[in-house]
Structures are given as structure tokens and as C-alpha cells.
Amino acid sequence: MKEQIKIPTSKIQRAASFALAGAKVGGNYIKYYTKKAMDSDMNRDELNQSNAEDIYESLSKLKGSALKVAQMLSMDKNLLPQAYQDKFQMAQYSAPPLSYPLVLKTFKQQFDKSPLDLFETFGKIAVHAASIGQVHKATLKGKTLAVKIQYPGIAESVSSDLKLVKPLATRILNLKGKDIDKYFKEVETKLMEETDYQLELKRSTFISEACASIPGVIFPKYYAALSSDRILTMDWIEGVSLAEFAKQNHSQSIRNKVGQAIWDFYAYQIFTLKTVHADPHPGNFIITPDFQLGVIDFGCVKEIDEVFHKDYFALLNSNAITDDAELTRILYKLQYLLPEDAAKIVPVLKQAFKDMLLLLGQPFNSPSFDFGDQTYFKSIYDLGEKFSKMVEIKKANGARGPQDAIYINRTCFGLYSILNIIGAEVITTH
């Protein structure tokens, strides 16, 4: 992949890049409607493909928050057309890397040294590049290391980037501008945390030590002396990405072994630590040659409030859901039902939440669960489609639920998604 020699860092430069992408998208719509005028049977696939390519090209050059939001959107199979999913997934581990002079500049700023002043060898070409930073391979004292380097200007541009991407997200999610503010504040806070590599070092060490005894899960060792605000050094874990593992022809027992390690890792964090790795996409996991799960990125971590935890996970308990009074209490407390909701739509909304929660809670209410069962995921999609067409739900399209739920929802849906990708059947009791 062609290296990038610079990143727009000023607000004006980044806004101009967004504007250029918008102009290209506008041109794509003109082309689409011109063709459709001549062919009424034409579908939107070509338009979606063109828009996805143009938007991703712009975001990949900007890096940072905008590209991270695209990555987050790509994890929800029901939210975006397939063309967007396919393109935006590249942000997980295959964005254009920065050229070595920019890497060298970051080292000089952070350590006042070049990479070869710190390491015996240092690969000038990145081996992985994503939304916030890229990874280079290095060696020191017989150890092979992974050195994560943050892109220049990313931390400083989080807030302004989110303001630029907010209108797009508002349209995609069908929300009013004022409704989405509290959610964007949560996203902004988490993205700011992701740019703080000292915080990631602390959290990586805490979670890896707390989860060290979970069978089948391994973590790299982190090196504080070789890390800084914008550079993070850890052991290199040999293996393939989870996405690559999923494409390989492994037996069901091997897939189940990896899937069980993933489930156990998340269950322990959610129900014991109440501090969770909240970015479960394939680019954050390495599968070793002996099929262990290597967890390599703790940039996004959510600490779960005790009161929120109790109510949220009660909604995934079939006993609580079938108790109408308890279900109603929790839905109002968590603001999924709102005091201003018209009396006639409350029963409709409550039944919709109940149907979806019973479906989403199945893995948590079964002794084991087959995440390779495509009919289960189709039923989730079909139910979402049904709700999207219901007039009562369309009228109640304001923002619902607490901001704390954003990254827990993302964690749970991401967990389901990666287990589905590898087709694993796991023991889900905890």
C-alpha cells in the first residue's frame, strides 16, 4: 500500500478534506439520478460503491477520529450498506501507512532520539496501519517488539473532527442534532483516551495481569521505558489476525477453542472486573500458531458503573424481561422509555424492546451458544427491519438510552460479530 507523506493537521485543512469528500458524494448522486432517469430499474449499489470509496479515501488520509467512526460503523452489519461495510472495515488494520520521515519526526519529538538510538533494528515500513496509529517491528536484546506510533496531530483534532462528522452520523442514525450531543460527548471522551498512550500502557498492564489466568488468552509485555504519550512498545506476538484466521480452513474444534477464549476473556471483564476492552474488532486480536488468542490493543477501555451494570445486564436476563413491572422500571430508568412518550406508543415500544432483548440475550441465557448459526443473526436483522418500518417507532426516533450504553453495546455486538466471523460454538455460562 502506498505510503502517506503528510497528514492534514489544521482545522482548515481537515475541514477542506471533508468538504472535498462531500463534493464528490454530491457528484455521485448527480450521476446516479441522471442514469436512473434513463433506467428506472437501476438500484443504488453503484452509488453506494462510489460514495464508500470516496468517503474512505478522504477519511483514510485524515486518519484519527473520522476514520475511527467509520471503523465503528463498519462493525454493525445492519447499519450500513455492504459497500460501506467492506470499505470502512479497512480502517481496522489496513489504512495507508505514514512514511518513515514522519515516524522519525515523532520519535525526535517524544524521545529526542531516532528509532535506531533506542532499538537494535527498526523496520522503516509499517506492518499495520489503522485509524489512530501504525505499528512497526523492532528488535532489542533478543526480543522482537511491536512499536505503535500515533499519527501526528490526531490528539489535537479529535473534537474538531467529530464536529465535522456529526452531521453524517446524525443522518445515518436518524437522530435530531440535539439528541446526539450526549453520545458524541462519550465518543469524544473515549477517542481522547485512545490518543493517550500512557493511559493505554496503564490499562494494558492492569487488564493483562488481571486476565492472565484465563485459558487460551495471552498478552504482550509492555515496556514503559520505551513508551511515551505518542509511542507504545510491547512484545511482538507471532501469528495471524483474527480476520485471516477466520478465512483459513480450521476444524470446528479449533474454532471453538479460539471462540471460547474470546468469550471467557470478555465475560471475566464484564462480570468480574467491570472494566472492559471495548473495541472488539478483528484487527485487535492475533491468533498464534498454537491457536491462542493474543490481545494486542487496549486503547479503548470502558469502566462500567456499578448501578448501570446491574440494570443494563438485567435486560439480558430472560427472567427480568418476562417480569413486566421490572422490565418497565429498567426501561424508564435507562431512558429507553421516556416520560414524554405518548401513552399509546409505550406498549408498542416496550414490546419492541422486549422482543429484541429476548433475542439478543439468548447467548447469556443458554449453557452454550452456536455463533456460527446464521439464522440467529438473520433473525436480528429481520427484527430490526420490522421495527424500522413501524410508524410508532419512527415517530419515537429520539435518542434513547444512557450514554454509558454506547461502548457496552459496541462491546456486546462486537463480541457477537467476531464469534460469528469464526463460526464458534462456546460455553456461555458464567
Convert the chain into a string of H (helix), E (strand) and C (coil). Answer: CCCECCCCCCHHHHHHHHHHHHHHHHHHHHHHHHHHHHCCCCCCHHHHHHHHHHHHHHHHHHCHHHHHHHHHHHCCCCCCCHHHHHHHHHHHCECCCECHHHHHHHHHHHHCCCHHHHCCEECCCCCEECCCEEEEEEEECCEEEEEEEECCCHHHHHHHHHHHHHHHHHHHCCCCHHHHHHHHHHHHHHHHHHCCHHHHHHHHHHHHHHCCCCCCEECCCECHHHCCCCEEEEECCCCEEHHHHHHCCCCHHHHHHHHHHHHHHHHHHHHHHCEEECCCCHHHEEECCCCCEEECCCCCEEECCHHHHHHHHHCCCHHHHHCHHHHHHHHHHCCCCCCCCCCCCHHHHHHHHHHHHHHHCHHHHCCEEECCCHHHHHHHHHHHHHHHCCHHHHHCCCCCCCCCHHHHHHHHHHHHHHHHHHCCEEECCC
What is the pLDDT, as a whole number, of residue 401? 87
pLDDT digits (tens, 9 = 90+) for 125-138: 999 887 788 999 99
Residue 270 domain flag: no
Give the C-alpha separation, 275 to 293, whole Å: 19
Residue 187 domain flag: no
Give the C-alpha separation, 355 to 269, whole Å: 27
The count of structural domains within the chain is 2
Residue 369 domain flag: yes
Residue 106 domain flag: no
What is the pLDDT, as a whole number, of residue 52? 60
The predicted model gives 241-251 an average pLDDT of 95
Give the strand pairing for 275-277 and 285-287: unpaired
Residue 73 domain flag: yes
Residue 277 domain flag: no
What is the pLDDT, as a whole number, of residue 32? 47
Residue 207 domain flag: no
pLDDT of residue 411 exceeding 80, the answer is: yes
What is the pLDDT, as a whole number, of residue 396? 73
- Percentage of residues in the chain having pLDDT higher than 90: 53
pLDDT of residue 124 exceeding 50, the answer is: yes
The residue from 173, 201, 225 where one domain ends is 173
Residue type at 133 in one-letter notation? G
| Residue 311 domain boundaries | 306-403
**Residues contacting residue 37 through CB under 8 Å, at least 6 positions apart:** none
pTM, 2 dp: 0.81
If you search the block for the grid coordinates 456529526, which residue do you land on?
166
The predicted model gives 420-429 an average pLDDT of 95
The residue from 173, 207, 235 where one domain ends is 173
pLDDT digits (tens, 9 = 90+) for 157-175: 777 777 777 766 665 455 5
| Choice between 52 and 153, residue whose per-residue pLDDT is larger | 153
The residue from 173, 198, 229 where one domain ends is 173
pLDDT digits (tens, 9 = 90+) for 317-335: 888 888 999 999 999 999 9
The predicted model gives 397-413 an average pLDDT of 85
If you search the block for the grid coordinates 481522547, which residue do you land on?
192
